[in-house]
Amino acid sequence: MKNENELARCVRRAIDAYFRDLDGELPTAVYEMVLQTVERPLLETVLARADGNQTLAAQILGMNRNTLRKKMLAHGLA
């Protein structure tokens, strides 16, 4: 894609590699797998950038602090 950013290119390459590695096996629940795989490092990185300040991290992520807290708990980050 012409205007694709670096993050999108990385995701595209990773998903293409995932499908290649399946070697013909039928994939299932790819959407949920990708979200779960990306969400934890995203939260960790933004929290580190915010020096652990959950209010600031939530603002950076564009979500409610309670939503961030729930996601942190789900990923064992709290």
Q: Give pTM, 2 decimals.
A: 0.81
CA distances from 28 to 13, 34, 65 (A): 18, 11, 31
CA distance linking residue 62 with residue 56, whole number of Å = 10
CATH of domain 6-74: 1.10.10.60
Instruction: Tell which residue, 19, 65, 64, 11, has the closest CA to residue 41.
Output: 11
Print pLDDT tens along the chain (78 aa).
566 799 999 999 999 999 999 988 999 999 999 999 999 999 999 999 999 999 999 999 999 999 999 999 999 998
